[in-house]
Structure 1
Amino acid sequence: MFQLVLAAILVFAFFYLALRRGALVPGKLQFAGESAYGMVRNSIGRDIIGSHDFAKFVPYLVTVFFFLLVNNLFASVPIIQFPTFSRASMAYALAGLSWVVYNAVGIKKHGLVGYLKLQCVPSGVSPVMYPLLVPLEFFSNLLVRPVTLALRLFCNMFAGHLLIMLFATGGLYLIKDYGGGIGIVSGLAAWVLAIAIGFLEILVQFLQAYVFTLLNAMYIQGALADEH
C-alpha cells in the first residue's frame, strides 16, 4: 500500500514540476514531461481509440501507464526491490477499474441493451449460430477480459521477481554451502544471470505497463465502436 501511494505521489510530482510553467521553449524537465505525455497520447490514445474520441480518455491512459510503470520499476529499485503488482489483489483491483471504465463508456454511448447487443451479438452471422456464439461472446468480452488483463500483469511481475530471487539465493547457496571450485564458479554464474535477468526485467516492466494501457485503449475503442 505504501508503494501505491508513493507511486501516485511520484507520478503527480513529476508531471506537476515538468508542466507547471509551460514555457514556449521547454527546458529539459518540461521536454521530458511533454514527451512522456505525448507518447501515451499519440501512440496509444489517438492511434487506438481514434482522433474523434481519444482526447477525453488521455488523462486516464496517461495516469494508468505511469502509475503502473513506477510500481513495476520498484522491483529494480534497491531496498524496495518488490513489484507492487506481483500481488494478485493489486492487479485485479486495477483490472476491475478498467472493466468499469470501458463498460461505462459503452453503456453511455449505446445504452445498456445496445451495448450488450454490440458485445454479444457478432455482426454478419446467421441467427442460427446465436445460441452458440452469444454466450461465448458474453463470456469473452464481459467476464474474461478483466481476469486476463490482471493475470498477464501479475504473472509477468511475479515470475520476473521470482527468477531474480531464485538465481540470487541459488548463487549464495552454491558458494556458501556447496563450496569447492565448481560451487564458486556456478554461484558466480548464477549471480551474473540474476543481474542479466534484472536488466531484462526493466524492459518487461515497461512493456507490461504499455500493454496494459494499450489493451485499455483497445477495450474503450471497442466499446465506442458501432459494431464488432
Structure 2
Amino acid sequence: MALFAFATHLVTPVLNTAEEGGFHPPSIDEFFPDALLFEGTPFEMNRIMIIRVIMMVVLLVLFWLGTRKMRVVPTRGQSLTEMALDFVRVNIAEDLLGKVDGRRFLPILMSIFFTILAFNITGIIPFFNIGVSATIGLPLVLAIVAYVTFIYSGIKKSPGNFFKNSLFPAGVPWPLYIIVTPIEFFSTFVLRPVTLTLRLLMNMIVGHLLLVLFFSATWFFLFEADGIMKAFGVGTFVVGFAFTLFEILVAFLQAYIFTILTGVYIQLALAEEH
C-alpha cells in the first residue's frame, strides 16, 4: 500500500469519484492550470510556473553548495557536482567542439542540460506531478537560445561567409542552387529550432498523459470497479510504475539530446568551410 500511495502521487488525479464517479481520461487542460499568484497582472503565476521557480532555486542551491568550498581532496558533495559538470564538459562540449571551443560554449551547454533535466524530472516528483517543460514556452525559449548561439557562432567565426556557405554549399552546380538553397534555408534556419522545440515538448506531454492514464485507471479498477475487474488494477499499476521508471530515463535523454544537438549546430557553424 505504501508503494501504491507513492505512485498515486506521481500524477495529478483525473478522477472525481466523490462527485461524478467513473473513469475520466487525462486531458490536455492539465497543462493550462488556473492562476495561483498575482492573477490578472503581468507576473501571474500558475502551478507550472511556481514549480519552475522552485526547481531553478533548487538547482542554484545545489551547485552553490557543491562549489562554494572547492578542495584538492573533494568532499562527497563536491565530487558529485564535479561528476555532473564533467559529464556535460567531456561528453558534449569538448567531445564535439574540442577543448578551446568546448570551454568557450560550456556555460550555455551546461545551463541548457541541467535546466531541461530539472524541469523534466518534476513529472515523477510527488505533488509536482507534471514535467514543467511540457508547455511550449520553455522548449521554445531554449530552442531560440540554441538557435541564436548557432548563428552567433557562425557569424563570429566567418562574418562574410557564414550565410553564403550555409545557403550555397560548395561543389553544387549553380543551376541546382534554385532547388538546393531553399531547402538549405528551410532545414538550417527554420526546421532546427522547430524540431528542438517539438521534440522536447511532445515527449514530455506524452509521458505525462501516459502516467496519468495508467494510474487513474489503477485507481478506477481498484476502488470503483466490481468483481473480477479489480484485478486489472494490478496490471495498470505495474505498467504505470514501469513507465515512471522509463520517464526518468526520458527526462535524462531529452536533456542530453537537446544539449548535444545544440553542440552539433555550433560545431557546424564553426566548421572550416564557414
Whether these two folds match at TM > 0.5 is yes
Q: Does 1:81 align with 2:129?
A: yes
Moved over 4 A (4+): none
In 1, Cα distance between the equivalents of 2:109 and 2:52? Answer: 17
Is contact 1:118-1:226 (8 Å) kept? Answer: no
In 2, Cα distance between the equivalents of 1:84 and 1:20? Answer: 28
Q: Does 1:145 align with 2:195?
A: no
Q: Does 1:37 align with 2:75?
A: no
Identity of aligned residues (%): 36
AA aligned opposite 2:162: Y
CA RMSD of aligned residues (A): 1.4
Q: Does 1:90 align with 2:138?
A: yes
In 1, Cα distance between the equivalents of 2:156 and 2:62? Answer: 33
1:5: how far off? Answer: 2.0
- Residues 51-130 of structure 1: matches in 2 within 5 Å? 51-111=99-159, 113-130=160-177
Aligned to 2:22: none
9-18 vs 24-33, which moves further: 9-18
Aligned to 1:193: 239
The unaligned stretches of length 5 or more in structure 2 are: 1-48
Paired positions, count:
226
In 1, Cα distance between the equivalents of 2:251 and 2:52? Answer: 16
In 2, Cα distance between the equivalents of 1:108 and 1:4? Answer: 33
AA aligned opposite 1:25: V
The unaligned stretches of length 5 or more in structure 1 are: none
Q: Does 1:24 align with 2:105?
A: no
Aligned to 1:50: 98
| TM-score, scaled relative to structure 2 | 0.79
1:121: how far off? Answer: 1.7
Within the candidate set 198, 205, 216, 2:262 is matched to 216
Aligned to 2:51: 3
AA aligned opposite 1:162: L
Q: Deviations over 1:33-75 (max 9, x none)?
A: 1111111001100001123311111111111111111111111
AA aligned opposite 1:23: R
Q: Deviations over 1:193-224 (max 9, x none)?
A: 11110011001100100111101111111111
Aligned to 1:225: 271
In 2, Cα distance between the equivalents of 1:16 and 1:149? Answer: 29
Q: Deviations over 1:11-37 (max 9, x none)?
A: 221111111111000010000111111
| TM-score, scaled relative to structure 1 | 0.94
Identify, as 1 or 2, the structure richer in helix. Answer: 1
Q: Deviations over 1:164-204 (max 9, x none)?
A: 101111222233443211x1111221011111100110011
Q: Provide the secondary structure at the position in 2 that maps to 1:51.
A: helix
